Amino acid sequence: MSLLSLRGLTKSYDGVRAVDDVSLEVGPGEVRALIGPNGAGKTTLVGLVCGRIAADAGQVVLDGQDITALPAHRRTRLGMAYTFQITSIYARLPVSENVALAARPHMTAGQVPGAVAQVIDQVGLTRYCDALAGDLSYGHQRLVEIAMGLVSAPRLLILDEPTQGLSEVEIAAFKDLIRGMAGRCAILLIEHNMDVVMALAERVTVLSAGALLFEGTPEEVRADPGVQAAYLGAP
């Protein structure tokens, strides 16, 4: 059974369909990339998935449960976590405290320190544990956010352009991190960097003008003329 099912999701702004009747299925532990040109509706779609945006029509189903009407915080309790393009860390708090804040709603006080230490190690930031988050490089701050997402042991992690603004070295570290998580949680990855998509995604969903244009393996997507015209060939 799919972990995440989207059925006919639709959202319009002022009569313009930002997301137009999109259906897709993501399996447990799958890494799914979501790509498409600027304005294709990717951010709106993940906003609908995580409950930050209310759908006009359609359903969001997580592990068989219809969560379309649930607010975002209820969805996180059901095993959904996300990071967005804009960083959400507290710059004046230590890295460990940022991650602890994300952990507390999901576990007992006694479980927090161990869980925090484990995910900070997983993202490779142990030596920055006590540093103020605001003193870290941009790339390391993005890793702190991923740690904040992972600490709740989500079944679905949504990453909105996680490699934007990262150096090549940081992108390589990000790829290693995601590969190291293989199968442990499903990942919905909005990503403009096609090297990252090709390296990590099992399947790729292509949006164009709000609608689902194509879905397939990275190789199939790369070879599809329609995708090339709509996306890969776009400036």
Residue 128 has φ and ψ, to the nearest 5°, of -105, 10
Query: Interacting stretch for ligand ATP, rule CB under 6 A, among 12-20, 108-116, 164-172, 211-219?
Result: 12-20
d(C-alpha 202, C-alpha 163), whole Å: 18
How many residues are present in the chain?
235
Rule CB under 6 A: is residue 31 a binding residue for ligand ATP? no
Backbone angles phi, psi at 23, to 5 degrees: -125, 135
Compute the least distance from the CB of residue 150 to ligand ATP, in Å.
23
Asked whether position 18 contacts ligand ATP by CB under 6 A, the answer is: yes
* C-beta of 13 vs 90, nearer to ligand ATP: 13
- How many Å apart are CA 65 and CA 112, to the nearest integer? 28
Q: Which CB atom, from 41 or from 162, has the smaller least distance to ligand ATP?
A: 41
Residue 33 makes contact with ligand ATP by CB under 6 A = no
Q: Does 43 bind ligand ATP (CB under 6 A)?
A: yes
CA–CA gap between residue 55 and residue 31 (Å, rounded) = 24
Question: Minimal distance in Å, beta carbon 232 to ligand ATP?
Answer: 14
**Contact 129/95 with Cβ under 8 angstroms?**
yes
Please select the residue that binds ligand ATP; options are 3, 26, 42, 142, rule is CB under 6 A.
Answer: 42
Secondary structure (DSSP) of 21-63: EEEEEE-TT-EEEEE-STTSSHHHHHHHHHTSS--SEEEEEET
Report the candidate in 8, 69, 20, 32 with the shortest Cα–Cα distance to residue 159: 32
Answer for which of 27, 39, 139, 216 binds ligand ATP (CB under 6 A) is 39
- CB under 6 A: which stretch of 42-50, 109-117, 127-135, 146-154 binds ligand ATP? 42-50
Q: Is 10 in the site for ligand ATP (CB under 6 A)?
A: no
The reply on whether position 52 binds ligand ATP by CB under 6 A is no
Interacting residues with ligand ATP (CB under 6 A): 13, 16, 18, 36, 38-44
